[in-house]
Structure 1
């Protein structure tokens, strides 16, 4: 049996509701598309807002990375020892939660204002 991608059932449900909206009130289709566009843009803006507010605390910076053979990184004349970047699970989780809160807040703000 072939496995479907995740959330396929929700995609089918959303398409069925879209068809129902088109059948019952076709004048509302552009409004729905407009609101979906605003929410998607708010998610992107929230992501880039997090990246610009916290450039040195990105979630992926706390993941274990493959280290170079000499265990150091040349940072524009400065040599950083990779041992100083302690891979901390708690910091990774906090960065992920922070990013999700910022993205969700921007999406909610746009959703409430539109």
Structure 2
């Protein structure tokens, strides 16, 4: 995974009738990811994905631990501004689209949509 970045565009993994299920699956994904020895180079959150980095999401606890292991975690500035969550971020740092383009030119992108 070291040669990959993960792009997260939603706060719910998968689609279905029950948003709580998708949020639970997303939390499970990050719980399992943080336990791996081979971690991605970075995780970039866009659109509703930025909610995963907020205090209201249990994902933020796991993402903070992933950050502590050296993985760069980024939140799209345009998205953070749109959803007005800058003061609620519990993990990650705000970055821009130019940075994502740079990362995607360097690393393979895995998208969670």
- More strand by proportion, 1 or 2? 2
TM-score by length of 2: 0.23
The structure whose Rg is larger is 1
TM-score by length of 1: 0.23
- More helix by proportion, 1 or 2? 1
